[in-house]
Amino acid sequence: MKLLITRPMTPAVEARARTEFEVEIRENTLPLSQREMLSALSEFDVVVPTLGDLFSTQVFADAGTVRCKLLANFGVGYNHIDVEAARAKGVEVTNTPGAVTDATADIAMTLLLTTARRAGEGERLVRSGQWQGWHPTQMLGHHVTGKRVGIVGMGRIGQAIARRCHFGFGMQVAYQSRSAKDLDFPAEFIPDLQALAASVDFLVLAVPGGADTRHLVNSQVLEAMRASAILVNIARGEVVDEMALISALQSDQIAGAGLDVYEFEPKVPQALCDMENVTLLPHLGTATEEVRSNMGHMALDNIAAFVAGRALPNPV
């Protein structure tokens, strides 16, 4: 059985993969090209795709008869894989849920705090050598403790963010999801997204990517937000209509944004880069060695089960 891992992994994951499987680990850190995806499907039994490896309907249509029988996705999100098209070709798909929860929630709080307290702007000021010292009205930001946060999507990651907000900062939690959840902390369920957006100081996005959530946050949702409110996105870039967000920020319709993901990643509009009230991170949601190793091991666990003919631990 031949295994392809599409990008470099942590040393622990690469060592295990080489010990347990006949593996080729691609050294390029960029996503697979269409030609590489077609080769992967025809030359390998299992492929470990990563974010940006766009196994679309067209790729599967162009592939003809495929050798690959499993896409063991490295990541919880799999909107870059057309799962139905894969299954039609006899290819199963797995992912790595759970491993990413706390790290992603931590990044959400990093963005929320950094944007609210103008920490990025302040660091740039200090580094520029232009800071003239403390004074009572210097860089006044937005208080976080005790404020009201709205979370869009109350799955594992949404709940982890909510717990940090409630237990760590005494925030009032409201949320929008497909249905009300049985939670171990107080939270108000608001099924209408615009109503949620209008009622909170911080709106945090924690929904999966894909066609169902594309441009979920559009001009109408942004218009509903308070002028003092801040948007945080740790979900997928396409969940937000990026042009509508830029317009809302430029017109002071909302106070700021903290972004770890972008609609046309890795392209980031210059307009966002030019704004001091926007915190921009390079998709750091799961970027710790422990988490990336756990994700890799989970992907390898799925592969090991597949090879042994056992039930897949994390099918999608």
The closest alpha carbon to 164, from 143, 187, 142, 181, belongs to 187
- Distance CA(5)–CA(307), nearest Å, equals 16
Beta-bridge partners for 189: 175
Tokens representing 31 are 């996503």
Whether 283 is catalytic: yes
Strands 202-205 and 188-189, sheet pairing: unpaired
- pLDDT, averaged across the chain: 97
Residue 215 a catalytic site member: no
> What CATH code is assigned to 101-130+138-280?
3.40.50.720
The Cα-based distances of 3 to 11, 43, 244, 246 in angstroms read 17, 9, 42, 42
Task: Kindly state the average pLDDT of the residues 142-163.
Answer: 98
DSSP labels, 36-47: HHHHHHHH-SEE
Distance CA 26, CA 13 (A): 14
Task: Clarify whether 35 is annotated catalytic.
Answer: no
Orientation angle between helical segments 289-308 and 11-20, nearest 10 degrees: 10
Domains of the chain, residue spans: 2-99+288-308, 101-130+138-280
- Is the domain spanning 2-99+288-308 CATH 3.40.50.720? The answer is yes
Q: Which of 16, 236, 292, 297 is catalytic?
A: 236
Q: Residue 240 gets which letter from DSSP?
A: B
Percent of the chain with pLDDT over 90: 97
**pLDDT at residue 173 greater than cutoff 90:** yes
Closest CA to 153 of 109, 126, 116, 189: 189
Q: Measured on CA atoms in the order 100, 101, 104, 106, is the torsion positive or negative?
A: negative
DSSP state letters, 184-215: SS--EE---HHHHHHT-SEEEE----SGGGTT
Same fold, 2-99+288-308 and 101-130+138-280: yes
What pLDDT score does 57 carry?
Answer: 96
Q: What is the pLDDT of residue 28?
A: 96
Which of 36, 43, 223, 265 is an active site residue?
265
pLDDT score of 98 more than 90: no
The backbone torsions φ and ψ at residue 149, rounded to the nearest 5 degrees and listed phi first, read -115, 135
Task: For residues 267-294, give the mean pLDDT.
Answer: 97
pLDDT of 189: 98
Measured distance CA(72)–CA(81) in Å, rounded: 11
Amino acid 123: pLDDT: 97
Residue with tokens 């103008």: 118
Nearest to 247 by CA among 230, 279, 222, 227: 222
Q: What is the pTM of this model?
A: 0.92
Amino acid 38 reads L
Residue range 197-250, pLDDT digits in tens: 999 999 999 999 989 999 999 999 999 999 999 999 999 999 999 999 999 999
Give the whole-angstrom CA distance, residue 6 versus residue 47. 7
Q: Using 50, 70 and 90 to split pLDDT, how confident is the model at 132? A: very high
Query: For the chain, give me the number of helices (H) and strands (E)?
Result: 13, 12
pLDDT tens track for 32-58: 999 999 999 999 999 999 999 999 999
Would you state the pLDDT for residue 74?
Answer: 97
How many Å apart are CA 143 and CA 124, to the nearest integer? 21
